[in-house]
Amino acid sequence: MSYTAAERSLLRGLRTPEKIQAFLDDNVAYNKEPGGITCRSPRRLMRDLVGHCMEGAMFAAAALEFHGHPPLLLDLEAVRDDDHVLAVFRERDLWGAIAKSNYAGLRYRSPVYRTPRELAMSYFEHYYNLAGEKTLRGYSRPVSLRRFDPIEWRVNEDDVWDVPEFLAGLSHSPVLPPRARRFRMDRRLYEAGKLGMAV
């Protein structure tokens, strides 16, 4: 199944990673359903204009693919917190990311990182739970969504749970040594990260 004319028109306008991120920030409401009850395909996100991080990452990957990038996701693993999913891309062999988040610091990253680890570590200071604890602990390898082409992940009208289930089952590389101490947020950064948060 292919995109509709309206979907192609929307995707055509999102010519750069920055434009994709702006679309997610400005046009897509944050999906606050408890437990992430839905896992919308990019088609459903374009129609509903609602998405959480998994839904936003899949849409961003589809939009990147439309403009010639491979559709890649990277999973960030947390303790005492939700995981976070990024659509990642490369420009001149440097990594960047697009993401939908309720926290300001967990969204876009410019393509300036030499490795996926460098990119993942750029999220450490901004990844925290409501108790103010920095919670990022691991990251996956980049995964191509083309492995899910048989379930039509781009346009499926049903929830595409196969994608987050696969990401959750991946081996994750640690960002801290075992038994590292807990790190706390600075109050100013804590409040800044909630700027624009959907409540």
Instruction: Give the separation between CA 29 and CA 197, rounded to whole angstroms.
Output: 10
Tens-digit pLDDT profile for residues 66-91: 999 999 999 999 999 999 999 999 99
The predicted pLDDT at position 180 comes to: 79
Mean pLDDT, the chain, rounded, equals: 94
Closest CA to 154 of 29, 19, 46, 14: 46
- Cα–Cα distances (Å) from 176 to 114, 120, 129, in that order, read 19, 12, 17
Domains of the chain (ranges plus CATH)? 5-193 (3.10.620)
The predicted pLDDT at position 179 comes to: 79
Which residues of the chain fall short of a pLDDT of 50?
A: none
The predicted pLDDT at position 18 comes to: 98
Q: Give bridge partners of residue 185 from the DSSP assignment.
A: none
Backbone angles phi, psi at 185, to 5 degrees: -80, 145
